[in-house]
Structure 1
C-alpha cells in the first residue's frame, strides 16, 4: 500500500468569505461526500464539508408521532423534560420573586410602573408592568422583545419608556421601523391586558452588549457549566409564573406574545410553562434543516447563541418543541419576504405543527398565516389580527 497523500481530507476555512475550501481525494456523491477526485470543492457559509451527513443524522426521534410514547400527556412530559435537561441551566429556580414597584405613572387608559424582581437566584431584573384601568382581574400578556442586534433598548422596544427620556428616541425609532410607530405593550394595555415586559440579558438595563461580544458571552456561559439561551428560557418561564400570580391577573388567561427572537421566546415559554394559556409568535418558526443553508443568518453565530441549546436537535426540531404546548391556542405568523426564514422551512414547520394539533382534534386552536407582501416586521395590520385573536382565545 502506498503512502497516503497528506492533502487527503485536509480542510481550510477561507477567512473573510465565510466559505470552507475543501481539498482531498475522491469521495462518494451521497451526503457523506467531501471532495471529488482531488478537485477543490466549496461550501458556502462557515459549515463543515460533511454537514449534509450531520443533517441526515437529525431525525428528531422524540417528536410526537416518531416517539415510541403514544400517550400525548406522557409524551409532553418526556419532551419537556428533555428540553429542560438540555437547557444546561439547573432545575427551575424557586427563588422568591420579592417584587419592588417603582416609577408609577398614570397613562391613557392604563397605569405603568416598573417592577424589580428575582427571576433567578443570581440577579434582580427590572421590568415594565402595565395595568388597565378598572377593577380586574384582567387577562395578561407576557411580552417578549426581539434581538435586532440593537442592545441599548430591550423592553423599551415594546413599551414606551415613560421612566427614561434618554431611551425614548431610540425606542421610537425602533417602533417606526418594525411596529408601524406603535408600542405594542401600550396598545395591549389600552385593550384591557396587563402587560409584563423585561430585558433579556444584554439589553437595556442589563446591557448594552456589543454585537461581537455575544459569542464570547455564550462561550463563557458554557465554560461555567451553564447556557445563555438556557438562562433566557428559564427567565421567561419564571416571568410567566410571576405574571400569572399577580392579584390583578386572571391566571387562567395569560398569553405570551413576541416578535422575531421574542417569537422564539414566546413559543418556547409556552412549551416550558403551564402558566401560559396561549402564545402568539410573529416571524420566528422554521424547520432547523431548512434554516441551516448557506447564507442564512443563523450560520454567523453571534445572535444565534441566544436560541441555541446544544444537543437538542438530536431529539426535537423547533416545531416539535413548540408542539409541547399543544393543544393550547397558538398563533404563528411569518412574512413571505422574510429572508431570515426560508419559505420551505416555514412550510415544513407549519405542516408539522398542523399535524400535531390535528392529532389532538384541536386544529381550530392553531392559527398559521403567511403575509406574502411583508418581510421581518410586526406592523399594525398584523398586530390588529393578533389582538383580535387574543380577545377570542383568552
Structure 2
C-alpha cells in the first residue's frame, strides 16, 4: 500500500513539474516583440530626431554647442562615483622589457574603489606622450587590461588566456607593448566587471545585465561608470611626472573603441583618439533588417541619451581633435551602411569647422579585429599628432 502511495505521489510531482515549468519557446497567438525588438521599432526610430545634434539644434556657435551637448551627455550618465581624495599609488610588481619598464600598480580610481592597472614606461628621459589603452568586451570578462598589455606576475591561467585572446583578435601582438616600444607611456586598467573588477563568484556573462539593473536601483549607470572611470584614469595619467599632459591619446578596439571616442568627446585632456571597429548609427543598429541588435549587455546603454544625440553626434563633440576610425567591411557587428552613415555625419561636423583633415575614417577588408596592420596605422596616426 505504501509503495502504491509513493508511486502516485511521485507521478503527481512529475506532472506538476512539467505543468509549471517555464518552457523556452512557448508562444501565444498575440505578441509584441519579434527577434528581440518591439514590433513598433520603426516608429520608435522615426521618433528619434536628435534635437541636440550639431546642425539640428538652433545653436550656431560651435563652442557653445559642444558645452551644451557635453552637459546633456553627462546628465544622462547620471550620478558619477565620488572622486578619489588621493591616488595612494602602490607599485605591486615590475618587469624590465625591451626598451621599457612594465609595472603593475594599484591606486584609488574613485572614493569607492581601488583598481589595479598596468603602466608601461619607455626607457630614457621623459616626459613622454601617453596612451590610455581601453580594452574590448568580447563577451569575455575573465581578463580586461591583460587583453591589451602582456601580463606578468599573474596566475598561469590569466597569462594563457591573455595570450590566446591576443592571438585571436590582435594578430598575436599585445597592442600596449607595441606602443611602449615606440616611445609611449601606456596605461590600461579593467572596466567594471572585467578582470580584477569582476564577481567574487566568478565570471557569469548572464549576471552582467542583472548587475547593471541593480546599479540603476542605486540611481547609477554601470555603463556610465565605465566612462567616468576612463575620464578619471586619464586624469590620473596626466598627473604622472613621466607623462606630457599635453600629449595624451586614447585608443581602443570594439567596446574599447566606443570607450575611446566617448572619452575623447568628454575629456579635454585627450589630444587624439583612435577607434577600431565601433561606430554605427542607431537606425541601422537597432533594426531586424540587418539581423543585428545591441549585444553589449549595458556596456553602452545610457538612459534617454538617444532622445538627444546618436553615436556619431556624441563623437563629434571631440571636434576638432584628431580622430581616426577604422571599421571592417566584413565586421558582422557593425553593418556597413550604418558605418558609412555615421562617418558622413562626423565628416560634416569636422568640415564645418575647417578641420576635415583631422578626421580620418576607413573601411577595411577585415572582420571584427585589430590586427598588426591596424595597430601600425594607429601608431602612425598617433605619431603624427602626439610626436
Compute the TM-score of the two structures, normalised by the length of structure 1. 0.88
Q: CA 1:362 to 1:110, structure 2 compared with 1: closer, same or farther past 3 Å? A: same
Q: CA 1:106 to 1:66, structure 2 compared with 1: closer, same or farther past 3 Å? A: same
The question of 1:87 aligning with 2:77 is answered yes
- TM-superposed CA distance for 1:162, in Å, is 1.4
Find the structure with the greater CA-based Rg. Answer: 2
Number of equivalences:
360
Q: What is the aligned partner in structure 1 of residue 383 from structure 2?
A: 391
Give ranges in structure 1 of 5+ residues lacking alignment. 1-13, 24-33, 35-42
- TM-superposed CA distance for 1:165, in Å, is 4.2
Q: CA 1:19 to 1:123, structure 2 compared with 1: closer, same or farther past 3 Å? A: farther
- TM-superposed CA distance for 1:347, in Å, is 0.6
Q: Secondary structure at the match of 2:299?
A: helix
Q: CA 1:297 to 1:101, structure 2 compared with 1: closer, same or farther past 3 Å? A: farther
Q: What is the aligned partner in structure 1 of residue 15 from structure 2?
A: none
- Provide the rounded CA distance (Å) in 2 between the counterparts of 1:125 and 1:209: 18
The partner residue of 1:248 within 242, 249, 253 is: 242
Q: CA 1:20 to 1:378, structure 2 compared with 1: closer, same or farther past 3 Å? A: farther
- Provide the rounded CA distance (Å) in 1 between the counterparts of 2:85 and 2:27: 46
Check conservation: 2:81, 2:225, Cα contact below 8 A.
no
The question of 1:138 aligning with 2:128 is answered yes
- Provide the rounded CA distance (Å) in 1 between the counterparts of 2:104 and 2:26: 43
CA shift digits 1:232-288 (9 cap, x unpaired): 010000111111221101111100000000000000011110110011000000101
Q: What is the aligned partner in structure 2 of residue 382 from structure 1?
A: 374
Q: What is the aligned partner in structure 1 of residue 227 from structure 2?
A: 233
Q: What is the aligned partner in structure 1 of residue 293 from structure 2?
A: 298
Q: What is the aligned partner in structure 1 of residue 175 from structure 2?
A: 184
- TM-superposed CA distance for 1:115, in Å, is 1.8
CA shift digits 1:308-329 (9 cap, x unpaired): 0010000000001111110000
- Provide the rounded CA distance (Å) in 2 between the counterparts of 1:367 and 1:21: 50
Give ranges in structure 2 of 5+ residues lacking alignment. 1-21
- Provide the rounded CA distance (Å) in 2 between the counterparts of 1:365 and 1:19: 53
- Provide the rounded CA distance (Å) in 1 between the counterparts of 2:113 and 2:206: 24
Q: Which has the higher contact order (CA 8 A, sep 6+)?
A: 2
- Provide the rounded CA distance (Å) in 2 between the counterparts of 1:233 and 1:18: 39
Q: CA 1:368 to 1:353, structure 2 compared with 1: closer, same or farther past 3 Å? A: same
- Provide the rounded CA distance (Å) in 1 between the counterparts of 2:266 and 2:385: 20
- TM-superposed CA distance for 1:17, in Å, is 6.6
